[in-house]
Structure 1
Amino acid sequence: MAKTVLITGSTSGIGLATAKAFAAKGYNVAFNGLEENGAAIAAEVAATYKVGHIFSPANMLHADEIKAFVHQAQTELGPIDVLINNAGIQFVAPVEDFPEEKWDDIIAINLTATFIATKAVWPQMKERKFGRVINIASAHGLIASAFKGAYVAAKHGVVGFTKVMALEGGQFGITCNAICPGYVFTPIVDKQIGAQMQAHNMSREEVINKVMLSEHAIKEFIPVETIASTILYLADSDAGATITGIAMPLDAGWTAH
């Protein structure tokens, strides 16, 4: 019987690359996204790799939608073997100008949704004595940058939550790890460029070279395929079976400073 992976925010960026990587290994995929063509994207990937799939437009702001997504996946695809909490949003502003509703949304989508989805899959994973939970944190789960108060707070929270789940899951065959990427060129980063241009009064090229990649020892964006292959290693390899509770930097040397 094929295994099943559930990935939040999986119709673009890191999530889509990861969905393709798991589908290539024969996993059924529970897709999620808010893009208008999300269902078509999911169907195309599933058809390409000849795997089962569902698509849910569940909004990560709403706990009831997250729970319904997990229930649908379990009902139609079977038990969730791998959960990847990937969905995220960003907003950049000095603290005195930071809208409180943006703070609430970022904490909800980046942190609280991770808790809700993990809680939803946990009982079945415990019962089966197997599970892999991978949380997409960020280098900003390990260090800080100015003007990103909500995002940095949320991602630090994700790293802490990951460690707790590793401790709770260990005796039940469940591992929980966080990936902490540096700058990956995704739609969320593309939006950040515009926000940083305003915050720093810089051109697009200046933001990329002087702000985003300035701390990378390797002056390149992280490829989404690199993130996907690392997630696959943690979730679907014998070597990854005893790796748990880590916050793995994939940051081109950013946190080496």
Structure 2
Amino acid sequence: MTSTSHSEAPRVAVVTGSSSGIGRAVVETLAARGQRVLAVDFNPEGRAVAESAGAHFFEADLTDGAQCRGAIDTAVEAFGGVDILVNNAGIQHVADIAHFPEEKWRQILDLMLTAPFLLTQAAWPHMQRGGWGRIVNVASIHAKVASPGKAAYVSAKHGLIGLTRTAALEGGEHGITANAICPAYVRTPLVEKQIADQARLNAMDEAEVVEKIMLAGAAVKRLIEPAEVAELVAYLVSDGAAAVTGADWGIDLGWTAR
């Protein structure tokens, strides 16, 4: 059951991949709305980003299970618990299957699928004890469709939808919801790198990549801004979204409308 007294207090949020892009926007949005936020990132420059938003910072390599658990332990030590988990950290590598490096495959799966599982597992008992929890997994339009050259990324994101649905089914009786967000191309450093990679892979210039690959299937012909994704996260972690769970939310410029 959801605790009514719990809803009156600021909640504790752990946000991964927090130094730039979507993660930074989520940290800033949740902190501005009064949540106590632990920002988690591999990049030590994320500390200044977190502090500027009024958040705490934890530097971690989330391909290491002990550091995943350490992030949750740090939030509990600093704030007394964990109520919200936003799994956002991600990387990309573009290559066809025949030439995809095994070490990159393993790194991407470890960071983008195993780490969300381990973080969820570590946060779960704290949410369960409070009778309230919100898990938001930042997936991708590539959790629903595939693109050439992205075998590991697409596989991890498809798996993240499965993890989300399972967590929703197991969490319902404990007041824990789990949802995934599936954005199309967001204006982030990761996407900027993808533009360059796709240009090389497809022998195009970067403007052609944006027009002919990234926005070819979109009804709205622009990149998504990180703040737009953060607003959806803010809704999904609110009391108003208590009945919303197990869903994969498209924010995809109309990509999947066809």
Q: Give the TM-score normalised by the residue count of structure 2.
A: 0.95
Q: Which residue matches 2:5?
A: none
Give the match for residue 256 of structure 1: 257
Work out the percentage of aligned pairs sharing the same amino acid.
42
Q: Is the 8 A contact 2:69 2:118 kept in 1?
A: yes
Map 1:38-49 to 2 at 5 A. Answer: 38-46=46-54
Distance 1:25 1:147 in 2: 39
CA distance in 1, matches of 2:183, 2:172: 25
Correspondence for 2:6:
none
Report the equivalent of 1:207: 209
Is residue 2:25 matched to residue 1:17?
yes
| 1:50 counterpart residue number | none
Q: Which residue of 2 aligns with 1:198?
A: 200
Q: Secondary structure at the match of 1:180?
A: strand
Q: What secondary structure, in the 3-state scheme, does the structure 2 residue paired with 1:242 have?
A: coil
The alpha carbon displacement at 1:237 in A equals 3.6
Q: Offset of 1:99 from its aligned partner?
A: 0.5
Which residue matches 2:173?
Answer: 171
2:227 aligns with 225
Partners in 1 of 2:43 and 2:130 — Cα distance? Answer: 33
Amino acid at match of 2:252: D
Deviation at 1:43, TM superposition (A): 0.8
> Is 1:243 paired with 2:251?
no
SS class of match (2:60): coil
Residue segments in structure 1 that go unaligned for 5+ positions in a row: 47-52
Are residues 1:4 and 2:5 paired?
no
Match of 2:4 in 1: none
Aligned position for 1:107 = 109
Matches within 5 A, 1:42-191: 42-46=50-54, 53-191=55-193
Deviation at 1:35, TM superposition (A): 2.5
Deviation sequence 1:89-111 (CA, Å, 0-9, x none) = 11111100111111001101110
In structure 2, list runs of 5 or more residues that go unmatched.
Answer: 1-8
Counterparts of 1:30 and 1:57 in 2: how far apart (Å)? 10
Mapped to 2, the partners of 1:228 and 1:39 lie a distance apart of: 19
Output the TM-score relative to the length of structure 1. 0.95
> Alignment RMSD, CA only?
0.9
Deviation at 1:135, TM superposition (A): 0.2
Q: Secondary structure at the match of 2:85?
A: strand
Count of matched residue pairs = 250
Amino acid at match of 1:125: M
Give the deviation of 1:25 after TM superposition: 0.7
CA distance in 1, matches of 2:161, 2:116: 11
Deviation at 1:125, TM superposition (A): 0.8
2:242 partner SS: helix
Q: Are 2:164 and 2:246, in contact at CA under 8 Å, matched by a contact in 1?
A: yes
Counterpart Cα distance in 2 of 1:66 and 1:178 = 19
- 1 CA distance for matches of 2:179 and 2:48? 30
Runs (4 or more) in structure 1 with deviation over 3 Å come to: none
- Residues 26-74 of structure 1: per-residue CA shift (max 9 Å, x gap): 011101112232111111110xxxxxx3211111111101111110111
Rounded Cα–Cα distance in structure 1 between residues aligned with 2:38 and 2:216: 36
| Residue among 33, 37, 51 paired with 2:41 | 33
Partners of 1:215 and 1:237 in 2: CA distance: 34
Q: Which moved more, 1:228-237 or 1:159-168?
A: 228-237
